[in-house]
Amino acid sequence: MTTFQRNSPLLKPFILPCGSKLNNRIAKAAMTERLAGKNYFSNKNLCNLYGKWSDSGAGLLISGNIMVDKKHKESSGNIVIEDESGLNQLTKLTKEATRNGNHFWAQISHPGRQATIFSTLNPIAPSAIKLKKLMLFAKPKAMTSLEIQDVIDRYVTTSVICKKAGFTGIQIHAAHGYLISQFLSPNTNKRDDNYGGSIENRSRILMEIITKTREQVGPNFPISVKLNSADFQRGGFNEEDAFYVIDQLEKSKIDLLEISGGTYENIVFLTKRSEKNSTRKREAFFMEFAERVRIKTNIPLMVTGGFRTLDFCEKVIENNELEVIGFARPFLLDESFPSSFINKIGSKIEDASFNFPIKKIEDMAEGGFYDYQIHRISKNKKIKKSYSPYLAVLRLTVSEIYKGWFR
């Protein structure tokens, strides 16, 4: 287990509304691992990866996308939990991931239309509107009312199994353009039933999932939601919608709200491209929105995206602007993060930089680079910052095709 050598505000414990204690304010945010085995079960590599991240000293680890339905996956390498058939493997995973007394939450998700043809040929979505990106996505079928109820039940079933397997909490993924986020957005939700139209209707699926899950997991089990501040697309989910949803989430007594933003069509959660560095007031991507949320809600807040200097992170916690800070890529740039970061006053994390001429697949190059680092850590190999973005695109594509079509 890592020892921290400074008395940083980031190391203060925090008690969640449900009564559970986070040992400190540092969270490893969700990063899809694409490591699951043949039956979409957990395995040795995942245990190894999360054992190491538990040793890192972070108070909270959030898993990558865990899917509720084998037929609908964000990646061919996702863990899928539909029933208890993979319970033994999951229990081994949670044991390793919590071996230092930290929390380990399952991020529960359904991709809807945002699943490539490598993992899902017949996607479903609120409405039959295709994702326009690189011709990698099939046109989805609009969900029937029965299919909506089935998805809600699946979220609840997966959450209950996660609790049984030893996860210490769950996070409902309602951001980044996946299924729930598609319901929230007027661009992708054109339904004229109870699940479309007003923001009350568009957020109904999320609220039903939370209410039914809470009934099953009880009052003492942490439930978190990852929500977009906005989709950053004209006519999409916007700040006003987000404020309505946050108000409903407060009434439903969630334990932690993680703020992010964007979808595959505009991946601001990785780059915040819509806002130039020179005009951005604060280093982290969604802090200005978080300031406005802070005034409106008492839900504990976590923001993920762009936190890179210790000074800024410490001020944000010291000034009570957030309860938890989420870090994703920093865990893939330095094996000894976060202790190396916290132990040195004035430290700054340098992102990997990509000089990739083909702009259209730059996202894939970046995703592929970080995916490769996850795979290396899971196999006890050192992070390799010199990895080529060309190879990254190739490796990721081949791996998705192989696992999706030939396994």
Ligand X SMILES: Cc1cc2nc3c(=O)[nH]c(=O)nc-3n(C[C@H](O)[C@H](O)[C@H](O)COP(=O)(O)O)c2cc1C
Which residues contact ligand X by CB under 6 A? 29-32, 64-65, 107, 173, 176, 226, 260, 269-270, 304-306, 327-330, 367, 370-371
Q: Which is nearer to ligand X, 16 or 108 (CB)?
A: 108
**Minimum CB distance to ligand X, residue 160 (Å):** 21
Q: Which is nearer to ligand X, 57 or 330 (CB)?
A: 330
Q: How far apart are the first and last CA of the chain?
A: 37
Please, which residues have CB within 8 angstroms of residue 275's CB and are 6 or more apart in sequence? 268, 285
Burial (CB count within 10 angstroms: exposed 0-12, middle 13-18, buried 19+), residue 249: buried
**Minimum CB distance to ligand X, residue 358 (Å):** 19
Q: What is the DSSP string of 212-263?
A: HHHHHH-TTS-EEEEEES---STTSS-HHHHHHHHHHHHHTT-SEEEEE--B
Q: Which is nearer to ligand X, 41 or 269 (CB)?
A: 269
**Minimum CB distance to ligand X, residue 297 (Å):** 20
Q: Which is nearer to ligand X, 197 or 275 (CB)?
A: 275
**CA dihedral sign, ordered 76, 81, 83, 87:** positive
**Minimum CB distance to ligand X, residue 29 (Å):** 4
Q: Distance between CA 40 and CA 42 in Å, rounded?
A: 7
Contact call for residues 152 and 208 (beta carbons, < 8 A):
yes
Q: Which two tokens stand for residue 331?
A: 């865990």
Q: Which is nearer to ligand X, 108 or 139 (CB)?
A: 108
Q: Which is nearer to ligand X, 15 or 134 (CB)?
A: 134
Helix axes 239-251, 287-296, angle to 10 degrees: 50
Q: Which is nearer to ligand X, 65 or 378 (CB)?
A: 65
Q: Name the residue with tokens 């993924």.
A: 173
**CA dihedral sign, ordered 142, 269, 103, 330:** positive
Q: Name the residue with tokens 């939700």.
A: 189
**Minimum CB distance to ligand X, residue 109 (Å):** 7
**Minimum CB distance to ligand X, residue 306 (Å):** 5
Contact call for residues 122 and 179 (beta carbons, < 8 A):
no
Q: How many CB atoms lie within 10 A of CB 15?
A: 12
Nearest to 259 by CA among 221, 211, 305, 296: 305
Nearest to 185 by CA among 265, 67, 123, 76: 265
**Minimum CB distance to ligand X, residue 40 (Å):** 15
**Minimum CB distance to ligand X, residue 193 (Å):** 28
Q: Which is nearer to ligand X, 191 or 362 (CB)?
A: 362
**Minimum CB distance to ligand X, residue 62 (Å):** 8
Please, which residues have CB within 8 angstroms of residue 306's CB and are 6 or more apart in sequence? 272, 283, 284, 285
Q: Which is nearer to ligand X, 269 or 289 (CB)?
A: 269
